[in-house]
Amino acid sequence: MKLSKRKKQLITKLSTLGTILTLLAIKSNVVFATGIGTAEVQTATDNIKRVITSIAMPLGGVLIFASIVVASIKMIANANNPQKRAESIGSLAWICGGGVVLGASLIIAGIIINVATNNTGNLLGS
């Protein structure tokens, strides 16, 4: 499948814009980090933990459960069609992969918060 010249130009421009914005965000992060105190770090850490535990985990669990229910219904509905049933079974692998990614992201977020604050609420080095 060939992309048209116009689509390639658009993709190139968007990737360039994304790179520039990423570099600006990294550079501005250094500037903003100098004025952060202990109270702000504690508040930010508490907010991140609250969002992860009250939104991300339950929402991810509900989405995974709903996906499994939908895949199961598709398997039951396609019980007489081996090809469609195999496609439904294959979707379970994607659901498992999504669950692993969700779990890993929650674990990594917790590790980053604990390393950055040394589990005390204070930034390391301050």
DSSP state of 3: P
pLDDT digits (tens, 9 = 90+) for 33-46: 555 566 676 777 77
pTM: 0.52
pLDDT tens column, 41-84: 677 777 777 777 778 778 888 888 999 999 889 888 888 888 88
Q: What pLDDT is attached to residue 35?
A: 58
| pLDDT exceeds 60 at position 32 | no
| Cβ–Cβ < 8 Å for 101, 14 | no
CA distances to 26, 27, 46 from 31, in Å = 9, 7, 23
